Structure 1
């Protein structure tokens, strides 16, 4: 079969507006079928265009493939859409996830928010791990968003996940898709956006009560963080069902098409691990700890990336909290250990034990003093740990929340979404958090 691949000019478009899709193929004609991701994928549209040939580009330069304009129908519901490219018509239902012939497109609402929940897709992180064109933010300091990949449709850096081998870790199918499937299957309605939308100041002032992120939302621009912080400080709530969140700072080019991230200390020798180093220019925690926004940081947690890991869950510290309503959990009980809930990466807060045996934030890492620690999971010594300032607290995943005008909840593990379909306690907590904060 003749190959075909492509990418959108930008990762999101408002319903009713025109989006440019860039596609290259040697076929005389090709087809694009659009599917909205939800409880199940739903076919929403089809278009056919003449094919044009173009060569692959570099990872750090706009590929400038042939452009095709597509007007998104006004009645398309906000959501994540997968554009499936093909050179032959077929009646078979295609797989939504693939390393080629797929494009991820987020449709934002045509009008001001009618609902209360906004879900953020981390396209900056997906492009950080995208290796189309021979590089990523793990081999260079700049990448372009205008190339195949970035969630679907491109090659991905990283080790396979033994707990979910169906898709690479740093993809939409691996992190966000199961969360969205559960959420929409449960009847929780949401609008959708990308981190580029939030970087540009869109949507957060449109009346939403709750911003949700899940999985692996690692790369944030200063503008994205500033706008999310302003949303929280104006009373907006945040639910972070993920980890390693806001770990690296990225600078976004003025046209929204490129990302820069300087990870290594000046004159660092070859082979330096930036996560284990101090003096990295774009480490958020070294200049403005992410704890002040989210309550936790990866530097007080850790990661286990290769193979099966010791099955860990959260030891519950306050089962009477509303977060645990209907779960049957008891204080001292453990959440999620049978499913290895803690990992592949997790976040934590520096803490101490008070005279009543309760876990309390120490505060020296930037975690607010009113952060309520609801569960802890100390990490084994064989895990991978990032650099941090000296502190007596052990490295541990730290489940909890705090309020600063708006309330911020953190699940503190990337693998939260993986257990939604199999662990009723994880599902109940997720439902409690969303319904309470929305």
Structure 2
């Protein structure tokens, strides 16, 4: 059974609308991404409204039946499925990443699938296919900002690769779909349960790329284990800046594969950094492609349009319109145009992806004395991450001249021969150039690789300790916890232009 949220995020404690497949009998459970790789059962739901859905209580549990048209819908239209307006049945709900599961039931309310039986028994589940086909990712924003970190879930990127309904922004060789320039955000697959033409990741076969489980779930688990309080938002929240005020935070996190950005997203992050906020990028191919959201001005975003292959081509297309931002390296210091991608080759005869394994490439340290490397014991010209394929499957590099223009190179890769772009990857810090030639008071840290979260949560990876230490150093430094043994519950933090309080430092215990 398929489902999708009408809006990918909602305010904790409020209701949200869930669109459900027509002509189904089902129940709903809510899970949360917590410390484990399995989702944790949280609660049932309180129903506050329905459209083309009837609901009845059986033994204290809601059973729903949906009506409507079950005709297949195209990828670029609002699917307009029946909806249930629900609220998690818990007295307190913190900001976080939640997963709604709809499982089909018999007339007496008994589940028809193993997934449903797990839900009834409140057992943990893994958010990968086929189970994820019945799941929807929903992000709970904070009622009031309290954490020092703002984590942005890359909703736009998830839908850009989502072929559910017959198309995406990409040539889907697996399902034989041609690339399009418009996709709907009102359809299943926005982070979980998508139809994808992606090759299987040879270094993490449990989950599929371009899915929440593959990227963000890992990083969220790490944050929770570190006791680092974090508020969660989506791309659309960052785009509109109505529910998200970045100036209330010390650091924004961009993780995994945060590829698709609107001009408004860039503007809001640029202003945040200029005013003293920090951006920590643990992602690759970041901010590479420009998009426009339809309906953002009304709060009813339904579509996403791909404007160009990258920001430079968009600027050319619009005759160097000064209102359009240039290369994304102006914001994050690196660009995919000077990095590279390696995902394998498509075999027309076998009709599948082959040669997916990558060359063992790591990062070679250039500035071991920098605070980013504190406690790693790395030496100059020492390489880390090669055995773990830390570099890739997409990686960003330094544009010509950038090392002398605000970007401080801390580590580099060798030339990515045979990769798309064929450049070289880099890790470093960056300060934006402002009007008058001055540099921003806020800073960007960028690892430039998609696979950072994978190695971060792989205890068997040879570079796991180094990757964890760098991540810990960056986040603690950017939120003001610089001392190695400082507690996340310390009462006093350095003064900042961004709001903070003691409650901001408390671990989400939900």
**TM tier, smaller:** 0.7 to 0.9
Q: Secondary structure at the match of 2:270?
A: helix
Task: Compute the TM-score of the two structures, normalised by the length of structure 1.
Answer: 0.87
2:248 counterpart SS class = coil
Structure 2 CA distance, aligned partners of 1:8 and 1:278? 31
Structure label with greater radius of gyration: 2
1:243 aligns with 2:284: yes
Give me the whole-angstrom Cα distance separating, in 2, the residues matched to 1:74 and 1:227: 33
Q: What secondary structure sits across from 1:181 in the alignment?
A: helix
Q: SS at the partner of 2:133?
A: coil
Equivalent runs, 1:63-82 vs 2, <5 Å:
63-72=79-88, 75-82=92-99
Is residue 337 of structure 2 the alignment partner of residue 309 of structure 1?
no
- Return the match for 2:16 from 11, 19, 24: 19
Deviation at 1:397, TM superposition (A): 0.4
Of 29, 32, 43, the residue aligned with 1:33 is 29
> Is 2:158 the partner of 1:158?
no
Structure 1 match to 2:184? 144
Unmatched runs of 5 consecutive residues or more in structure 1: 265-273, 352-361, 387-394
1:385 matched to 2:421? The reply is yes
Q: Is residue 2:367 matched to residue 1:318? A: yes
Compared CA separation, residues 252 and 275, structure 1 to 2 (3 A) = closer
CA RMSD of aligned residues (A): 2.3
**Residue 5 (structure 1) shift:** 1.3
Q: Is the 8 A contact 2:311 2:326 kept in 1?
A: no
Q: How many Å apart are 1:277 and its aligned residue?
A: 8.0
**1:189 to partner: Cα distance:** 1.5
Distance in structure 2 (CA, Å) of the matches to 1:320 and 1:347: 23
Shift of 1:223: 0.8
Asked whether the equivalents of residues 74 and 110 of structure 1 are also in contact (C-alpha less than 8 Å), the reply is: no
Runs (4 or more) in structure 1 with deviation over 4 Å come to: 274-284
Partner of 1:50: 64
Residues 79-99 of structure 1 deviation map (CA, whole Å, 9 limit, x = unaligned) = 110111111152253322334
- How many pairs were matched up? 402
Where do residues 158-237 of structure 1 align in structure 2 (5 Å cutoff)? 158-201=198-241, 202-205=243-246, 207-237=248-278
Does the alignment pair 1:102 with 2:135?
A: yes
Report if aligned partners of 1:204, 1:228 keep a CA contact under 8 Å in 2: no
Alpha-carbon offset, residue 368 of structure 1: 6.8
Aligned-partner SS, 2:150: strand
Cα distance in 2 for partners of 1:140, 1:228 equals 28
Q: Secondary structure at the match of 2:451?
A: helix
| Post-superposition CA distance 1:168-214 (Å, at most 9, x none) | 11111111111111121121111100010010113234511000011
Are the equivalent residues in 2 in contact too, given 1:232–1:407 (CA < 8 A)? yes
Distance 1:115 1:224, change over 3 A: same
**Does 2:398 align with 1:349?**
yes
- 3-state SS of paired residue (1:198): helix
Ranges in structure 2 where 5+ consecutive residues have no aligned partner: 46-61, 105-110, 171-178, 345-355, 432-439, 480-510
**Take 2:271 and 2:404, find their aligned partners in 1: how far apart are those partners?**
17
Check conservation: 1:23, 1:65, Cα contact below 8 A.
Answer: yes
TM-score (norm 2): 0.75
